[in-house]
C-alpha cells in the first residue's frame, strides 16, 4: 500500500506538473558568460537573488561556517599545547558571538590585545587552509544530493502513513456501525 501510494504520488506530480515546466524559462539569468547576448541556458530560472547568484549566496553561508570551523580547530589546538592562549580564547568566546558573522568576530579578536591578535591571524590562516585543502567538496555534493532524496522520500512517506492511518480508522468505525 505504502510503496504504491508513493509511486502514485510521483505519477500525480508528473501529470499535474508536466515535464515542459522543468524547461520553462521566462527570463534566463546567464551566470557563467555575462558577455554573450544570446541566452542559451537550459537551467531553471531562479528569481529573487538580486545581484548574487544562488552559488554566491551559498558561498556566503559557507564562509561563516568555515570561520566557525576554524575557530573550533584553533580552540582545540590551543587546548593541547598552549594553556594561556586557550584560556584567553575561551574567555573571548564567552563574550563574543560568531552568529553576527565570522568576520566581525575575528575583527574584534584582532583588536583585543597583541596575544588575541595572534589568535585572530591564526584563525584567518586556518579557515583559508581548511576550505582549500581539507574540506571535502565532492563529499559535500554527494551528501547534499543524498539528503534531498532521503528527505523527499521521508516527507512523502510520513504523509502516506498519516493518511493511511486515518483511512484505516475511518473504515474501522464504518464497519463497527454496520
If binding is defined by CB under 8 A, does position 90 make contact with a copy of itself? Answer: no
The residue within the footprint of a copy of itself, chosen from 7, 33, 83, 111 (CB under 8 A), is: 111
Taking the C-alpha atoms of residue 178 and residue 165, their distance in angstroms, rounded to an integer, is 20
Q: Which is nearer to a copy of itself, 88 or 176 (CB)?
A: 88
Taking the C-alpha atoms of residue 143 and residue 162, their distance in angstroms, rounded to an integer, is 28
Query: In three state form, how does the secondary structure of 129-148 look?
Result: HHHHHHCCHHHHHHHHHHHH
Q: Which is nearer to a copy of itself, 8 or 168 (CB)?
A: 8
Nine-digit cell string for 101:
558573522
Taking the C-alpha atoms of residue 119 and residue 106, their distance in angstroms, rounded to an integer, is 9
CB of 162 to a copy of itself, least distance (A): 8
Q: Which is nearer to a copy of itself, 48 or 175 (CB)?
A: 48
Q: Which is nearer to a copy of itself, 87 or 145 (CB)?
A: 145
CB of 177 to a copy of itself, least distance (A): 27
Task: With beta carbons less than 8 A apart as the criterion, state whether 41 and 25 touch.
Answer: yes
Taking the C-alpha atoms of residue 52 and residue 171, their distance in angstroms, rounded to an integer, is 53
The residue within the footprint of a copy of itself, chosen from 5, 6, 62, 93 (CB under 8 A), is: 62
CB of 11 to a copy of itself, least distance (A): 10
DSSP-based three-state secondary structure for 88: helix
If binding is defined by CB under 8 A, does position 98 make contact with a copy of itself? Answer: no
Going residue by residue from 129 to 168, which x/- string records binding to a copy of itself, judged by CB under 8 A? Answer: xxxxxxxxx-xxx-xxx-xxx-xx-xxx-xx--x------
If binding is defined by CB under 8 A, does position 47 make contact with a copy of itself? Answer: yes
Q: Which residues contact 42 (CB under 8 A, 6 or more apart)?
A: 23
Amino acid at each position: 500500500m505504502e510503496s504504491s501510494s508513493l509511486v502514485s504520488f510521483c505519477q500525480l506530480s508528473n501529470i499535474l506538473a508536466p515535464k515542459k515546466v522543468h524547461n520553462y524559462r521566462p527570463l534566463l539569468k546567464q551566470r557563467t558568460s555575462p558577455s554573450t547576448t544570446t541566452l542559451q541556458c537550459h537551467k531553471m530560472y531562479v528569481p529573487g537573488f538580486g545581484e548574487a547568484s544562488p552559488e554566491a549566496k551559498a558561498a556566503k553561508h559557507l564562509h561563516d561556517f568555515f570561520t566557525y570551523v576554524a575557530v573550533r580547530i584553533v580552540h582545540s589546538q590551543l587546548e593541547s599545547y598552549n594553556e594561556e592562549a586557550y584560556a584567553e580564547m575561551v574567555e573571548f568566546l564567552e563574550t563574543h558571538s560568531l552568529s553576527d558573522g565570522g568576520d566581525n568576530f575575528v575583527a574584534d579578536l584582532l583588536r583585543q590585545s597583541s596575544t588575541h591578535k595572534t589568535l585572530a591571524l591564526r584563525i584567518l590562516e586556518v579557515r583559508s587552509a581548511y576550505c582549500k585543502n581539507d574540506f571535502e567538496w565532492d563529499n559535500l555534493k554527494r551528501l547534499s544530493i543524498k539528503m534531498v532524496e532521503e528527505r523527499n522520500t521521508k516527507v512523502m512517506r510520513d504523509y502516506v502513513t498519516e493518511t493511511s492511518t486515518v483511512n484505516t480508522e475511518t473504515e474501522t468505525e464504518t464497519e463497527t456501525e454496520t
